[in-house]
Chain A
Amino acid sequence: MKDIFLQSRREFLRRITALIGSSIASVSMPWLNIFGNTSSSVKSVSDKVRLGIIGIGDRGKVLLLSLKEYVELLNIEIAAICDDYEPHLKHGLQLTQGNAKGFNDYRKMIQMKNLDGVIIATPLNEHAKMTIDSLNNGLHVFCEKAMARNIDDVKGMYDTHIKTKKILQIGLQRMFNPVYLEGIQKIYKGEIGQITQIRAYWHRNNNWRRPLPNNDPTFEKRVNWRLYDDVSAGLLTELASHQIQVANWVLNTEPISVLGNGSINYWKDGRNVYDNVACIFSYPNGVQFIYDSVISNKHYGLEEQILGSNGTIEFEVNKIYSETPPAPPAILQLINDIEKGIFNTFPIGGASWVPETATQYKGELISNNYKMDETKLQLEAFIKYIREGKAPEILTKHGYCASLWCLLAERAIKTNQVVNLSDDYKI
């Protein structure tokens, strides 16, 4: 597995180096430049990046295992882990072979000497205080999306990041996914024309519940925190935030308003977050982003569909579709030959080419480089940013805007009104 990771990472780095060689990617996706920046690589044994992880639940464990891949490669140390649930902490310590120091209170962990940064993977309503305390304590922070449970906390996290000049990176891993990177570049280059609409959805068919330890109901809110309104905004913060970020990225701006509806129409099991939502985000120039999410049907899965005047991109399936027929290969060969001064036979005769219908036309791949673990790559970037002492501000802004607008969508649903962003939260 490690060999596969290293091999695919090398391929990613090779392609990213080519990508950031283009001015479009270099300017519009500056967070990639770190991968081509030799000053962020390891200089000496003492040049070690020491990290702590807060929250060793499902996601925290994934992040911990991902970080382990970089221990030697990037000279890092998983110096501390923290979880207030004893079994999680114990399991986390086992995964580090006892090398990390364990804590059940993050406030003590962030006092540790020589810690460079923390990774936060706790329930949503805990993100803000942990992030703000860590930043104020001089630590760089990687925090899982979304940023916080309410918009004041989102703003508070951002303001603290600005005040302390410490890195605040939000776990929106599509920003490190080669398919998205190459697709966005195609969009910025105008390959699918003017973007006129975005549609996205995330559909699952399960109750989103996780089993309680020993079936003990006192754990309900700690384990199934995504289902409770005071901890999470459910589908909006846990799923939609990724896709709102993609829409913002595609349009290179943020919405100007949002309206929406939601309800609990299927999973009437005591939860108080919506099990289905539908929202429309309005962007400048009259572009609408139509979004919906359900957890009672999985037929359509998840997708972000970018509709342009000359083509369509579907990121999740790595496809780009042209509105106009592809140029005949034979004619392309002929043009190529003429340009090179060559006289060749080209294969032309055959039955009439006829347009393919939508169901027949399979589109083209956006990227051949899609077997990558974007979660690992975003952590690699975080490590390298720490070594540099800074990260591109746009990276944090993406996290801020995506987090803010999923909460504004929630407000639109709850108030049944069109919601705009007040000046107080503009950055």
Chain B
Amino acid sequence: MGTRFVFLVPHIDFEKGDRVFNHIKKEVERIELLLSYFKSDSEVYKLNHRIKNNNLPISDELFNIIEICNKYNILTEGMFDITLRPVIEYLQSATDERKLNENSFLETCGMDKVKLSKQERTITFQNDFVKIDFGGFGKGYALGKIMEILYNYYVTDAFISFGESSVLGLGNHPNGNSWSVGIRKYNCICPSNIKIELNNESLSTSSNFTLSDNGSLRKRISVLSPVTKCTVTSLKSISVKSKSPLEAEILSTAFLVTEQDHFTKLSGKFNVNYYIETFFNSARELNIYSEIN
């Protein structure tokens, strides 16, 4: 998954802990081999580097995953979209002259350009440019599978983290009635004032920047709204708490690029909690802040 994984189970004996961890590790590796955008032997990579577009056979699991993505694309009114990556890559690499054609390029992407055939269990891409990317899906999907494994081993209290952006708090902290987490602050190792209790719940955070362990800004990430076709300019982070790790992951991905008005309308549809942190409204503010600090 391109990040660090933390598996914390209090009071588990070493042998059982080892067994559970190895089971989880195998499962995560299996999911990665299915969904990775970068690994050349993954099923998704092979689909993205296809030599033809029509009626490509896919595994049942990937078929079901794309159906889930389609469902959430409709539920989020287009904000969750696994086909946007080529546009981002295009914007990052394109010259100014080519950017003039960005709208026409945008037209080549979208979930409607990916068609599934239930009878044939195949996928068809509408054009050569369409690629699918599960970057805003995979960790939540994996956390859901991990939760099942833990229940099968009768592990009731655990804290699992994928790169601190997708976490699962199962049962309780040994000294409390939940797992109490905070959102990281920019330029600080302390949590913000938002305190989130997780009890058999998951928290997924999406943001358009990455921080070092000391809280300093490492990198800004381009994210694009599939509806407004604009990139998010403010330094923004949104966390979603849900009983379902997958839903938390999908909604945090979708709502990061959702405009405020649209968000207000959409958020009521889901039985989840939202925590939004907008650190800076513009790149200019960010620069000023950096200078001050």
Name A residues whose Cβ lies closer than 8 Å to a Cβ of B: 325-331, 334-335, 337-338, 341-356, 360
Contacts and interface: CB of A to CB of B under 8 A. Distances in A.
A356 B180 CA distance: 28
Given A350-B165, A354-B3, A345 B237 contact: no
Interface in B130-176: 139, 159, 161-167, 173-176
A72 to B, nearest CB: 44
Given A337-B175, A360-B218, A348 B195 contact: no
Contact of A329 (B159, B205, B213, B221): B213
B210 A338 contact: no
**The 3 A-B residue pairs with the shortest CB-CB distance in the complex, in nearest-first order:** A347-B191, A343-B176, A352-B163
B190 interface: yes
A335 B196 CA distance: 18
A349 B275 CA distance: 10
Nearest to B206: A351
Contacts of A345: 180-182, 191, 195
Contacts of A334: 8, 159
Report which residue of B6, B10, B162, B211 has the largest number of chain A beta carbons within 10 angstroms of its beta carbon. B6
B175 A348 contact: no
Contact of B182 (A331, A348, A360): A348
B175 A341 contact: yes
B73 interface: no
Nearest to B210: A351
B189 interface: yes
Contact of B184 (A341, A348, A356): A348
Contact of A348 (B164, B210, B237): B164
Contacts, number: 117
A348 B213 contact: no
A331 B213 CA distance: 11
Given A346-B181, A348-B164, A326 B218 contact: no
B205 A351 contact: yes
A349 B180 contact: no
B237 A328 contact: no
B139 A349 contact: no
A346 B162 contact: no
Given A346-B180, A346-B191, A338 B10 contact: yes
B87 interface: no
Given A338-B174, A353-B163, A353-B164, A348 B203 contact: yes
B185 interface: yes
9 contacts: A328-B6, A328-B164, A329-B213, A347-B184, A348-B161, A350-B237, A353-B3, A353-B4, A355-B2
A338 B173 contact: yes
B195 A350 contact: no
Contacts of B189: 329, 347
Contacts of B212: 356
Contacts of A329: 189, 213
B203 A338 contact: no
Interface string B181-199: 1111100011110011000
A352 B173 CA distance: 23
Contacts of B206: 351
A349 B181 contact: yes
B210 A331 contact: no
Report which residue of A329, A337, A350, A354 has the largest number of chain B beta carbons within 10 angstroms of its beta carbon. A350
B207 interface: yes
Contact of B190 (A328, A347, A348): A347
A329 B139 CA distance: 21
A354 B163 contact: yes
B209 interface: yes
A336 B194 CA distance: 22
B169 to A, nearest CB: 9
A346 B196 CA distance: 10
Given A347-B191, A348-B203, A349-B183, 12 more contacts: A329-B213, A334-B8, A345-B195, A347-B192, A348-B164, A349-B165, A349-B167, A350-B183, A352-B3, A352-B139, A353-B213, A355-B4
Contacts of A338: 10, 173-175
Contacts of B183: 347-350
A338 B176 CA distance: 10
B4 A325 contact: yes
Given A326-B213, A329-B189, A334-B159, A349 B175 contact: no
B239 interface: yes
Report which residue of B180, B206, B209 has the largest number of chain A beta carbons within 10 angstroms of its beta carbon. B180
A353 B166 CA distance: 10
Contacts of A337: 173, 175
B213 to A, nearest CB: 5
A353 B210 contact: yes
A351 B162 contact: no
Nearest to A330: B164
A330 to B, nearest CB: 7
Contact of A353 (B10, B159, B165, B174): B165
Nearest to A326: B213
A349 B182 contact: yes
A349 B213 contact: no
Contacts of A355: 2-4
B62 to A, nearest CB: 22
B174 to A, nearest CB: 5
A351 B221 contact: yes
Contacts of B196: 349
Report which residue of B139, B190, B211, B213 has the largest number of chain A beta carbons within 10 angstroms of its beta carbon. B213
A293 B78 CA distance: 62
B58 to A, nearest CB: 26
Contacts of B218: 356, 360
Contacts of B163: 352-354
A175 B275 CA distance: 55
B175 A342 contact: yes
B157 to A, nearest CB: 11
A350 B164 contact: yes
Contacts of A352: 2-3, 139, 162-166, 210
Nearest to A325: B4
A349 B239 contact: yes
Contacts of B175: 337-338, 341-343
